[in-house]
Structure 1
Amino acid sequence: MTYSQHIRAVLTLGLPLIGGHLAQFAIGLTDTIMLGWYGAESLAALTLATAFFFVFFLMGCGFAWAVMPLVAQAAASDDTQTVRRVTRMGLWLSGLYWAAVMPLLWFSGAILLALGQTEALAADAQTYLRIAGFGMLPALLVMVLKSYLAALERTRVVLLVTVLAAIANGMGNYALIFGNWGAPELGIAGAAIAAILSQLTALVAIAVYTQRRMPQHAMFQRFWRADPQMFARVFRLGVPIGLTTLAEVGLFEATAIMMGWLGTVPLAAHGIALQTASATFMVHLGFGNVATIRAGNALGRNDPEHLARGARTVLGLSLAMSLMTITLFLTLPHLLVSAFIDPADPARDAIVATGVTLLAVAALFQLVDGAQVVALGILRGMQDTRVPMIMAIAAYWGVGIPASYVFGFVLGGEAVGIWLGLVFGLTLAALAMLWRFWGQSLPGMRGQNAGHLAPATDPH
């Protein structure tokens, strides 16, 4: 394929995935806005509860993300049986993972109290988590089926299902938080119920699509039959992916805690700047998913030159997006930050001033953040997850968090210093992941010595 053909293929596959990530982002934004309207106490409890929830949810998504490269590789060699086996065991592992973590969500109040939260805040957060915890199961199953369909390049349905879930979530929130349309006014509990309704809506829609439009995979026939060999394979690939994700989430959670030490204004500015940067990060995450799928296909065809050309293409598109984002952050920072703040808020000017500075730092890490997530996606497509996990933990926790503390507090950089630490951690991760691919994984595939990266398709 020429580079222009690669670009068309990446955009055809990637734009629906990017739209799906933005729709998922909109679900969280809708929850924040609506509970913010309902009351500051409820919003604070939601912020705490969702941070707790997503630590466990994203860890569990490792099994779903492991399905994507395995299905892509099997699909490239027309191995329908392996596609089915991989996806089923991804569903099994997601269900077992949920059963293991649900008790932590049910008794989250005691955990939050032990972490220094107030009794009232911990109680409200536990109310949300006890209800929303039951929604984690369908949410994880949906993630597996999305990965399966995306790997088969059925990305439009992934977008449509996520948009449908976002609509269901918004309507559920409007009815159950405020008591509209004859529904009871339930506040934060209403938001949790709306989340479950949204996740069940998505699960039913994607399961029906899979059953009707992908009958060749017979995904739900004899679903109860165990497959120990494939179970172990998905497990071995999924755990490092989950731990890598957890390491990155931990980096940003740690910076939020450090911002809280500086006071309300820096923490508010941090939240606004991070929310803005997260929206643009969804584009890079979509490109990272495309990189995983196309790398998995190249692996299945044993075509290293196709892999290298595709990697250059998706990294180039991510770079172009980063340059556009940097321009936006540097030219319109006041407009972006002030949109989040009530003009009557007495702290508005201070928050805007800090937020504008943080967006300038965010412009710095757009380049490296996009590069590291795309490079990580390529490595996942090659089923190379253990060494990247070690690299990520070392970069985020060994460099990023200590650098944030040193720049922010030891050297007196405060909010800007904390974010500079983020830049250091993400830069090291990007360089390490790119070196791993270009310096080791790709040459190994070219030399036909990548057996540990490309396990043979199971014959059963």
Structure 2
Amino acid sequence: MNETLPYRRHARAILFLGLPLIGGHLAQLAISFTDTAMIGRYGVDELAALTLASTVFSVFFLFGSGFAWAVMPMVAEYDSRGDHTQIRRATRMGLWLSIGFFACVMPLLWFSAPILGLLGQERSVALDAQVYLRVAGWGLLPALGVMVFKSFLAALEHTRVVFWITVFAAVANGFANYALIFGNWGAPELGIRGAAIASLVSHGVSLAGVIAYARLSLPQYTLWQRFWKPDTEMLREVFALGWPIGLTTLAEVALFAATAILIGWIGAAPLAAHGIALQLSAATFMVHLGLANVATVRAGQARGRRKAGFLLRDAHTVFLMSVIAAMFTITAFLTIPEHLIGLFLSPDDPERDQIIAIGVSLLKVAAIFQLVDALQVVALGLLRGLQDTRGPMKIATIAYWGLGLPSAYVLGFVAGFGVTGVWFGLVIGLGTAAVLLLHRFWGQAMPAFGRA
């Protein structure tokens, strides 16, 4: 690992590793994107329920993924040292922790309607959301397993297979949605329950694919050797690194979930517009998340080999790439918002014009936070690669819950700006996180790593 490589070599290596990861994230998002688009054409009430249910599922999925993300920098560091045994141990215990997390969470998904009712959601929307979660919730187990294997494969730079498996799962989800939501091809018309079944199928297909690839193409890691046997020492290490990652992610995702709750108080049409705008923002965010994953892997490799110069050039390169991508997104959100929102709605929907008007205002706000969202997630990825997770957890808690959510409530309800004000609260939270995480990496972590 040569520290004096020119920046173009770093850029080429980052793109080689990162493009399949970005594509994989986009393909994964296509599952929920397809659910939203098809349910949006089925009915606005069902779209509101799906928005709520997907938000709840995402909160638990991303929180539980903390253990999977902990596997990525650990495997990258162990691989730089050629230590197959440690790679196997870390990956297995990541799977153990994911299984345990699912067992704790599934009862909450099964009985979600009363919880959503207590949070002020309309009874009909809460009941439909529970219908979705009682089926799709079982997909949390394979989804978390897939995340562990993706981290394992990404850290070993096997990213293309992740992309193709996820694409195949997204296609399967699309066909299943078309059949089961609307009752096409002789299938029963199941509406939102059909979307849940389709998502469950896609997660199962993904898990089968990554397991098959790991067994056939990487047998030297013997991941299933004595899988049933506890490994207390490594379990503690993965847990210690993973729970702050999970809580950091939870702080951000729960901020978006909380805004969905707040907007649900306003009405079904604003909640539907929120769901569409959020899907579009999430799609563009996948580019930055893929680059952040690359940053984690490359920082983990640099940490294993103690190469500060390598990490410095990688950091410069990945930040620049993320900023360039954000500029394209900002341009699209400001120039063609009506067309983007309209993709999710039926042309003859009576609430189409109202939802598009609300969605356009939200995309303008989303354009503002694209840049800060990009910077904060890349900084977070670099810090994770250096196995610095507790500091970012504290930053996320302060930024999102100390500033972001209170600002969303005040601007949305006290100041009377409604759904747009709630989204400006997101800008405040994400902007604060970006500033603090950038300071932590450039002002603290990078200088300390260079001196080590």
- TM-score interval, smaller chain: over 0.9
Alignment of 1:203 with 2:207, yes or no, is yes
For 1:349 and 1:193, how far apart are their aligned partners in 2? Answer: 30
2:152 is matched with 148
Identify the range of structure 1 (274-283 vs 191-200) with the bigger mean alpha-carbon deviation. 191-200
Alignment of 1:157 with 2:161, yes or no, is yes
Alignment of 1:56 with 2:56, yes or no, is no
1:422 is matched with 426
For 2:125 and 2:352, how far apart are their aligned partners in 1? Answer: 25
The CA deviation at 1:76 is 0.9
For 2:267 and 2:205, how far apart are their aligned partners in 1? Answer: 40
Could you say if the C-alpha distance between residues 220 and 366 of structure 1 is closer, same or farther in structure 2, counting changes exceeding 3 Å? same
2:385 is matched with 381
Aligned to 1:55, the other structure's residue is in SS state helix
Amino acid at match of 1:201: V
Alignment of 1:295 with 2:296, yes or no, is no
Could you say if the C-alpha distance between residues 359 and 188 of structure 1 is closer, same or farther in structure 2, counting changes exceeding 3 Å? closer
Aligned to 1:153, the other structure's residue is in SS state coil
For 2:219 and 2:290, how far apart are their aligned partners in 1? Answer: 27
Could you say if the C-alpha distance between residues 166 and 424 of structure 1 is closer, same or farther in structure 2, counting changes exceeding 3 Å? same
Q: C-alpha offsets along residues 378-433 of structure 1, whole Å, 9 cap, x if unaligned? A: 10111100010000010011111122233333334333332222211111100111
1:264-275 matches, cutoff 5 A = 264-275=268-279
2:438 paired residue among 418, 428, 434:
434
Normalising by structure 2, report the TM-score: 0.93
Could you say if the C-alpha distance between residues 232 and 199 of structure 1 is closer, same or farther in structure 2, counting changes exceeding 3 Å? same
Q: C-alpha offsets along residues 42-65 of structure 1, whole Å, 9 cap, x if unaligned? A: 433333322222211111111111
Identify the range of structure 1 (250-259 vs 386-395) with the bigger mean alpha-carbon deviation. 250-259
1:187 is matched with 191
Aligned to 2:65, the other structure's residue is in SS state helix
The CA deviation at 1:163 is 0.7
1:231 is matched with 235
2:375 is matched with 371
2:39 is matched with 35
For 1:419 and 1:37, how far apart are their aligned partners in 2? Answer: 25
Alignment of 1:335 with 2:339, yes or no, is yes
Amino acid at match of 1:250: A
Give the unaligned 5+ runs of structure 2.
none
Amino acid at match of 2:235: F
1:172 is matched with 176
For 1:242 and 1:270, how far apart are their aligned partners in 2? Answer: 24
For 1:49 and 1:240, how far apart are their aligned partners in 2? Answer: 25
Q: C-alpha offsets along residues 136-191 of structure 1, whole Å, 9 cap, x if unaligned? A: 11111111001100111111011011111112212222333334444444333333
Alignment of 1:130 with 2:134, yes or no, is yes
Q: C-alpha offsets along residues 90-114 of structure 1, whole Å, 9 cap, x if unaligned? A: 0111011111112212222332333
Amino acid at match of 2:158: R
1:12 is matched with 16
For 1:257 and 1:89, how far apart are their aligned partners in 2? Answer: 34
Q: C-alpha offsets along residues 310-357 of structure 1, whole Å, 9 cap, x if unaligned? A: 011000100111112222222323333344444445554444444333
2:85 is matched with 81
Q: C-alpha offsets along residues 283-308 of structure 1, whole Å, 9 cap, x if unaligned? A: 11111111111111111111111111
Could you say if the C-alpha distance between residues 47 and 363 of structure 1 is closer, same or farther in structure 2, counting changes exceeding 3 Å? closer
The CA deviation at 1:224 is 1.0
Amino acid at match of 1:428: T
Structure with larger RCO (C-alpha < 8 A, sep 6+)? 2
Alignment of 1:112 with 2:112, yes or no, is no
For 2:73 and 2:402, how far apart are their aligned partners in 1? Answer: 28
Amino acid at match of 1:190: G
1:243 is matched with 247
Q: C-alpha offsets along residues 267-287 of structure 1, whole Å, 9 cap, x if unaligned? A: 444333322222111111111
Could you say if the C-alpha distance between residues 183 and 418 of structure 1 is closer, same or farther in structure 2, counting changes exceeding 3 Å? closer
The CA deviation at 1:197 is 1.9
Could you say if the C-alpha distance between residues 45 and 380 of structure 1 is closer, same or farther in structure 2, counting changes exceeding 3 Å? same
Normalising by structure 1, report the TM-score: 0.92
Aligned to 2:251, the other structure's residue is in SS state helix
Alignment of 1:45 with 2:49, yes or no, is yes
The CA deviation at 1:40 is 4.0
For 1:50 and 1:296, how far apart are their aligned partners in 2? Answer: 32
Amino acid at match of 2:32: G
Could you say if the C-alpha distance between residues 358 and 43 of structure 1 is closer, same or farther in structure 2, counting changes exceeding 3 Å? closer
For 1:253 and 1:133, how far apart are their aligned partners in 2? Answer: 17
Amino acid at match of 1:441: A
Amino acid at match of 2:434: A
For 2:108 and 2:160, how far apart are their aligned partners in 1? Answer: 35
Identify the range of structure 1 (27-36 vs 16-25) with the bigger mean alpha-carbon deviation. 27-36
The CA deviation at 1:231 is 0.3
1:452 is matched with none
Superposition RMSD in Å = 2.0
8 A Cα contact 2:31 2:174, kept in partner: yes
For 2:247 and 2:331, how far apart are their aligned partners in 1? Answer: 33
For 1:46 and 1:329, how far apart are their aligned partners in 2? Answer: 23
Give the unaligned 5+ runs of structure 1.
449-460
The CA deviation at 1:262 is 4.2
8 A Cα contact 2:44 2:272, kept in partner: no
The CA deviation at 1:364 is 1.5
Identify the range of structure 1 (342-351 vs 91-100) with the bigger mean alpha-carbon deviation. 342-351
Could you say if the C-alpha distance between residues 306 and 254 of structure 1 is closer, same or farther in structure 2, counting changes exceeding 3 Å? same
Aligned to 1:225, the other structure's residue is in SS state coil
Could you say if the C-alpha distance between residues 242 and 219 of structure 1 is closer, same or farther in structure 2, counting changes exceeding 3 Å? same
